[in-house]
């Protein structure tokens, strides 16, 4: 790295605000994906002024910049693919303002997702987006990837809860986008930035909507001896006009892995479970819970249980949200995919995943947001075996290709990053991609912000299926 640039960064941030030694950079060469790439340095701003200074220095030296939250992303979005500076927002982690009366909060990007809900719990409000990594992931990272979570079905993804952003462009200019108002005028520029994966600007402040906690919640556990019966239940629940707050599914293999780890109370001898939340007014919740249970029974659920209290409900959800960690106990690495399909295609898609599992002799567990058709197959592999890694990525590609053929998409919430850039032409035409690149260039003309992401490169996942033997394996997110 340019020694002068390093000195200027240390002058701006102090020696404790810059990492550049190899042993320190090792910690920042990966996120929750199977990708790796090492930055030239990592910096830790504490204020918007620090971010502006970092960006101006990087711009003057034509050095790439990559924003990073907690590093729990699953598509390589927070990795410095072409080296350069990683800007870690872990020290910009303050809740700046809570406006309970207007159901708004203003936060810095390093605020942990679940911590915001804790900070406003006394007001009867919460921050609705709840990625499974919400105890670690940051709101800045959620904004970058447009993160979702189990309760996306009823509450939407991050973009539905962000009303304003303060953003630093790669020139060092500061923009304020959006408004706290209920119906702001003009273009929805916050909506353009959310999900742009750090390729438009670095977010320094976020104003979010807060959602009132529901009067009542019921959590149902549907237990099935057939995967098809479980998936058909999901399709009929939504066909009846019921929108649960969450509708999650786990297959038998994943259930057994989770139960051995969490002891959540899942049965070990079933083919699948549905974990369903209904919430709202007490009378509505009671009626919808009974109708959901009825649908499950019509589709041959062997049992439908209702969580008896908050403790049992929390335990069931702890099991679901720790599914990736449970899988991580059973292999040195795993690869989590993120395809989307129409709900009616769930049975056929899960059968296809089973065929792919057998084709490559790989264990694939399924845990996913069944209500909105967002699949998360978990492929277990040994990172020391290069052929197995190649087969794992090929298996993942075949799953995504089937999702596209079924009328779906390549990602529901994890983003494109450097994992799926090579798959973008399967979903978009050359004209589509060219238009997207023109939008990126309007904000990031020199391409210094998070280069090598989203759009097709000559290399793809695992840099064409080959990983350095020294790289660390995928970590739970």
Give pLDDT tens digits for 385-443: 999 999 999 999 999 999 999 999 999 999 999 999 999 999 999 999 999 999 999 99
Give dist(CA 400, CA 264) in Å, integer: 31
**Torsion, CA 77, CA 78, CA 82, CA 83, rounded to 10:** 180
Strand, helix or coil at 18? strand
Give dist(CA 187, CA 128) in Å, integer: 24
Which tokens hold the place of 410? 């390549």
Strands 125-126 and 104-107: unpaired
Residue 230 exposed, middle or buried by CB count within 10 Å (0-12, 13-18, 19+): buried
Has residue 446 got a pLDDT over 50? yes
What's the pLDDT at 459?
60
Q: Provide, rounded to the nearest whole percent, the portion of the chain with pLDDT above 70.
A: 96
What's the pLDDT at 464?
47
Domain with CATH 3.30.465.10 in the chain: 95-212
Residues 334-359 pLDDT 10s: 999 999 999 999 999 999 999 999 99
DSSP secondary structure letter of residue 122: G
Give dist(CA 369, CA 149) in Å, integer: 8
Residues 208-248 pLDDT 10s: 999 999 999 999 999 999 999 999 999 999 999 999 999 99
Has residue 50 got a pLDDT over 80? yes
pTM of the model: 0.93
Residues 86-142 pLDDT 10s: 999 999 999 999 999 999 999 999 999 999 999 999 999 999 999 999 999 999 999
Domain 3-88, CATH 2.40.50.140 — does that match?
no
Has residue 466 got a pLDDT over 60? no
Which tokens hold the place of 22? 């190899």
Domain with CATH 3.30.43.10 in the chain: 3-88
Which tokens hold the place of 122? 């006394």
Has residue 83 got a pLDDT over 60? yes
Strand, helix or coil at 72? coil
What's the pLDDT at 181?
86
Which pLDDT band holds residue 475 (cuts at 50, 70, 90)? Answer: very low
Task: Count Cα atoms within 13 angstroms, Cβ side, for 238.
Answer: 16
Strand, helix or coil at 118? helix
Which pLDDT band holds residue 471 (cuts at 50, 70, 90)? Answer: very low
Could you tell me which residues are beta bridge partners of residue 66? 86
Residue with tokens 């009626």: 287
What's the pLDDT at 457?
82
CATH architecture of 216-325: 2-Layer Sandwich (3.30)
What is 331-428's CATH topology?
Answer: Alpha-Beta Plaits (3.30.70)
Helix (H) or strand (E) run with residue 443 in it: helix 430-443
- In words, the CATH class of domain 95-212 is alpha beta
Could you tell me which residues are beta bridge partners of residue 409? 340
Strands 272-280 and 303-306: unpaired
Task: Say if residues 166 and 116 touch (Cβ distance below 8 Å).
Answer: no
Residues 256-284 pLDDT 10s: 999 999 999 999 999 999 999 999 999 99
For residues 286-314, average pLDDT:
97
Which tokens hold the place of 361? 């002799």
What's the pLDDT at 185?
87
Domain with CATH 3.30.70.2740 in the chain: 331-428
Strand, helix or coil at 58? helix
Give dist(CA 318, CA 263) in Å, integer: 10
Higher pLDDT, 271 or 185: 271
Q: How many residues does the chain have?
A: 477
């Amino acid at each position: 790295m340019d020694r002068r640039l390093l000195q200027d960064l240390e002058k701006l941030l102090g020696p404790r605000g810059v990492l550049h030694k190899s042993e320190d950079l090792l910690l920042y060469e990966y996120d929750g994906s199977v990708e790796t790439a090492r930055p030239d340095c990592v910096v830790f701003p504490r204020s918007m002024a620090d971010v502006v200074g970092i960006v101006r220095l990087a711009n003057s030296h034509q050095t790439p910049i990559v924003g990073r939250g907690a590093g729990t992303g699953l598509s390589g979005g927070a990795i410095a693919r072409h080296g350069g500076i990683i800007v870690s927002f872990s020290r910009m982690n303050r809740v700046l303002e809570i406006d309970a009366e207007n159901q708004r909060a203003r936060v810095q990007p390093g605020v942990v997702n679940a911590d915001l809900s804790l900070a406003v719990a006394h007001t009867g409000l919460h921050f609705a987006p709840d990625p499974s990594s919400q105890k670690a992931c940051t709101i800045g990272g959620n904004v970058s990837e447009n993160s979702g979570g189990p309760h996306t079905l009823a509450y939407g993804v991050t973009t539905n809860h962000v009303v304003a952003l303060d953003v630093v462009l790669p020139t060092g200019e500061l923009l304020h986008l959006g408004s706290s108002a209920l119906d702001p005028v003009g273009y929805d520029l916050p909506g353009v930035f959310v999900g742009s994966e750090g390729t438009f600007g670095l977010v320094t402040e976020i104003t979010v909507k807060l959602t009132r906690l529901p009067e009542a919640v019921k959590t149902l556990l549907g237990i099935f001896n057939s995967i098809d019966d479980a998936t058909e239940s999901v399709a009929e629940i939504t066909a009846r006009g019921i929108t649960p707050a969450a509708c999650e599914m786990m297959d038998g293999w994943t259930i057994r892995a989770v139960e051995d780890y969490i002891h959540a109370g899942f049965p070990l001898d079933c083919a699948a479970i549905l974990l369903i939340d209904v919430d709202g007014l007490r009378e509505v919740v009671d009626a919808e819970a009974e109708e959901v249970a009825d649908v499950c029974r019509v589709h041959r659920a062997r049992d439908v249980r209702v969580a008896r209290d908050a403790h049992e409900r929390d335990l069931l959800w702890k099991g679901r949200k720790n599914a990736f960690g449970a899988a991580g106990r059973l292999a040195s690495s795993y690869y989590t995919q993120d395809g989307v399909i129409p709900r009616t295609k769930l049975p056929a898609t899960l059968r296809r995943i089973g065929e792919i599992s057998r084709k490559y002799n790989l264990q694939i567990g399924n845990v996913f947001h069944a209500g909105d058709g967002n699949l998360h197959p978990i492929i277990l592999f040994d990172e020391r075996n290069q052929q197995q890694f190649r087969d794992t990525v090929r298996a993942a590609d075949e799953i995504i290709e089937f999702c596209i053929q079924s009328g779906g998409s390549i990602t529901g919430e994890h983003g494109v990053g450097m994992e799926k850039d090579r798959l973008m032409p399967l979903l978009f035409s050359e004209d589509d991609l060219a238009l997207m690149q023109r939008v990126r260039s309007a904000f990031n003309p020199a391409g210094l912000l998070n280069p090598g992401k989203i759009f097709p490169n000559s290399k793809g996942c695992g840099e064409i299926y080959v990983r350095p033997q020294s790289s660390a394996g995928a970590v739970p997110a």
